[in-house]
Structure 1
């Protein structure tokens, strides 16, 4: 039996790392084998692409190049990690996936969403998450949280308007397909966010 594919999305400072652990523990408690991973990344080469995306040495990455780099990393990630784990019956929990491309490169950078959809079809085939949880937070609050964690990366240094476009991109995706998406208020205390996520998991996934 194919495993379940759960994706956690959201802007900077939304608390994805904390809640990724919550999801992993919830799935494991029911006896599931769980693989946790992230995008961009998940393999050695994809992690190198991630490093380039987060801190371009010469600042020359255009929106088109950024989109292609993300999907190049995604192709490696799917082939080496996600697809084999799902085929083995393991659940996969991923920190960001294709929705991040529609939010960051599409809504944020202005890349034509039909081009992103074409890349999704080519790279992902029929693979789609069973559940996408969007951690929603005001970008200013999220960036303040992120600043406490580490120095800002290339995306966190963008203007506030960029972060708001990304947020609205996520929310638009969730509104378009409410049966497969759940939006969770990430501004609440972490334990409240975790409780809400556990309810979402219980509503959407069978044991």
Structure 2
């Protein structure tokens, strides 16, 4: 069924498939890793699900792991690069897992600790708001291909009704590789309609 664009968009958040660092738990922002073989299988499993949906806007992070997921999911030809969908810049913690970082900084937490050489949570939340603003202006059903933390923060900002502080709510939203989440509306209220759903081929 065709979707008529409106000022109340529906945002589909599609996280990229597995990479070597997502598998190990290493923080990955600007390091441009490809998908693993399993990650490519995960991305391909998204295709039959997304083929049933008509999108009015398709946006992807500039990182190859997001673009490759969009391509294997069958929608890359019409996707536009959106720089604000880049993952949280982890600065000096890029490529390190939380347990590794805590060897030197025992109380470190990405949500509450300083990110030396990278972005603060409010800065990432501001980028998330810019993506929401673009979708609000465009309207309709919007597919976004990107990363775990930017999506978790974006969802927090969404249900915070534009309050960037809402991005901190993302700490409580786990997100798997190659998952689909949907942000929508219940009457006039912004809601998380679906969260962290895997395509049927990966759900078993």
Q: TM-score range by the shorter chain?
A: 0.3 to 0.5
TM-score (normalizing by structure 1): 0.36
